[in-house]
Structure 1
């Protein structure tokens, strides 16, 4: 018999994390623990961390669904492999709760791996290969953003991602110009979170193109397919779809979206997309259509970040990933994850301090 326990937890940001949707100071998450009643010492952990304003569900929705999930789990047998996990999660949790699907997949993979917080077997999980990551610059006063930029460059980051769309666009351009003057080879990514007005988007993209910006995530709000199709076709800066993918559950819907919009890149956040199985479908389609992609955390604590990072380790030569968020919180879960310069790795000498 499978047993489920859970605990809600509030993560505290070390600073006011500014985005175009507002300032983040706290992030509420739910941790899952699954084990067999006959073997209670072997436990699988997962994290449901819906993002306010982005996820279709809330923490309250997740907590409301968990008693029923606990009853269902008592009637199923432990899955035997990844494919079995995908099938079982499809049966247990609907796509209206994507963060819970991700948490349940993670907990099952951990459990069948022996409860060692190793979900996949690859060079990253064994500590022999690190993952290159981008340095994330949060919105705020211009001086605050400049300080972040200096810190990231001093640490050796070769790819910098700036949140844009909340402060004056001319100020943002000055920061990007400063970055470009620092290095001609630096990869600069920007993320608008849908903040650009449709009637201004081409003018802004033209300005960004002057500084050799690698890509821009979600320049306009999602759901405007005709406008986005035109932007992807005519843009001087490659487009990376992010929020546009949320809630697109069926394989045929994914295929339709990518065929119509033809973005240059897509951003994959398993917490928002409904887990690893859903993410693999996006990767399969993107590869078929020669669309680039990379993985990004959705501000999970180290339990969720560990899962996404280990998943990323399954792929070779994937470039800079958005997985450098483990140092955002003052009360994060202690883990073997470590950042050295511009790389995320696993320090096999460090132990987990799990929440319960």
Structure 2
């Protein structure tokens, strides 16, 4: 354990530019504001740990007008603390000094301090992913858009060697979305290509089961968040009756205490949960969700949430601490024209860390 009495916390704002208009259920994204949190010792200012706080517009709890002001206050308060650098102590100080309604900031500070603990070289967790280039299987994400745009993406992902495709649905005509899924299945069966869909809560509870039955003909691995979050009884009924395994995503946002997490999973009994550290409050919170899910026989995977390569790197390294062969949702690093150059590369549907490529930060 390293004891550092003079850790300085600072931040800088950065605006990420999308390479294309990214369609989501909450509108079109062209740019994304994010904040880089820096932690360094006054005695060794050249060794800097970086984290990223990037609330998702219209979704994150901390997508608030005064987020930057709250970030400034947290950085000032943490700078005045004596911090012991071990994973457990880092989690403790984050839980006790950063409000739970600032989940992306919890994630950022955890990451910055873990990076500092490992020498400020962007190593957040010491894993074979970093040291031995061990690949992490990921899904290829198909963004919402018109039929032609989505078909173009599907063909590109298949050419690039992905064997797991995730398609966002709920934006265009449902018949056209089914046609696109049928296009994939007409060429690749479920043993060749795993298909996931993400509805982002687009279905009304009254018609959700009917749509799930129709989607089941395409041999889907799972569907994320078929109805809007917060409808616990309706979601529980869907999970019990659906012919397609259901994964909770947005449903986990705002559920903080261990008791509340356990109650949610016991009530809804989903087949899977999807963990986004930026949205659920960092790695400590993810650990709690994973432990509870596994105790109840619920599957899980981890997904990035439009972070830059700083945040994506931390999430990928955290994911690599688990022995999971499930394709993860970590393919968002290629979205931006001005992302930070990093060792993160996508090769044949996997994410790898190439030690020969240096960080440009």
Give TM class, smaller chain.
over 0.9
User: 1:41 is paired with a residue of what secondary structure?
Assistant: coil
What secondary structure does 2:234 align onto?
helix
Aligned equivalents of 2:207 and 2:31: distance in 1?
32
The aligned counterpart of 1:20 is: 25
Match of 1:336? 343
Q: Is the 8 A contact 2:222 2:247 kept in 1?
A: yes
Say whether residues 1:153 and 2:158 are aligned partners.
yes
Distance 1:149 1:62 in 2: 37
Q: Secondary structure at the match of 2:326?
A: coil
Post-superposition shift, 1:350?
Answer: 0.7
User: Could you say what secondary structure the match of 1:40 adopts?
Assistant: coil
Whether 2:32 is the aligned partner of 1:39: answer: no
Moved over 2 A (4+): 58-62, 77-80
Q: Secondary structure at the match of 2:357?
A: coil
Q: Distance in 2 between matches of 1:289 and 1:318?
A: 19
Q: In the alignment, which residue of structure 2 is the partner of 1:279?
A: 286
CA deviation profile, 1:284-303 (whole Å, cap 9, x unmatched): 00110110000000010000
1-side partners of 2:40 and 2:333: how far apart?
Answer: 26
- 1:237-316 to 2 correspondences below 5 Å: 237-316=244-323
Q: CA deviation at 1:58?
A: 2.3
Query: Which residue, out of 124, 149, 166, partners 1:144?
Result: 149
Q: Which runs of 5+ in 1 are unaligned?
A: none
Q: CA deviation at 1:60?
A: 4.2
2:3: which partner in 1?
Answer: none
Q: CA RMSD in A?
A: 1.0
Cα pair 2:341 2:360 within 8 Å, conserved: yes
Counterpart of 1:99 in structure 2 is 104
Gaps of 5+ in 2: 1-5
In structure 2, C-alpha distance between the alignment counterparts of 1:179 and 1:108, rounded to whole Å: 43
- The answer to whether residue 64 in structure 2 is matched with residue 65 in structure 1 is no
* Residue aligning to 2:93: 88
Deviation at 1:270, TM superposition (A): 0.2
Matching of residue 211 in structure 1 with residue 224 in structure 2: no
CA distance in 1, matches of 2:75, 2:257: 26
- Which is further off, 317-326 or 214-223? 317-326
| Contact 1:7–1:32 (8 Å) recurs in 2 | yes
1:166 has 2:166 as partner? no
Task: Compute the displacement of 1:75 (Å).
Answer: 2.4
Q: Tell me the equivalent position of 2:198.
A: 191
State the partner residue of 1:345.
352
Q: Separation in 2 of the partners of 1:221 and 1:127?
A: 41
For residues 115 and 40 of structure 2, the distance between their equivalents in structure 1, rounded to whole angstroms, comes to: 10
Residue 57 of structure 1 and its aligned partner are, at CA, apart by 1.1
User: How many residues in Structure 1 have an aligned counterpart in Structure 2?
Assistant: 354
Displacement, 1:59?
6.3
3-state secondary structure, aligned to 1:91: helix
Residue 332 of structure 2 is aligned to residue 325 of structure 1: yes
Q: What is the distance in 2 between the residues matched to 1:83 and 1:18?
A: 39
Q: Deviations over 1:155-198 (max 9, x none)?
A: 11100000000100000000000011111121100000000111
Structure 2: how far apart are the matches of 1:55 and 1:74? 26
8 Å Cα contact 1:294-1:318 kept in structure 2: no
| Maintained 8 Å contact 1:47/1:300 | yes
What SS does the aligned partner of 2:131 have? coil
Once the two structures are superposed, what CA deviation does each residue of 1:303-333 show, in whole Å capped at 9, x if it has no partner? 0000000000001133100000000000101
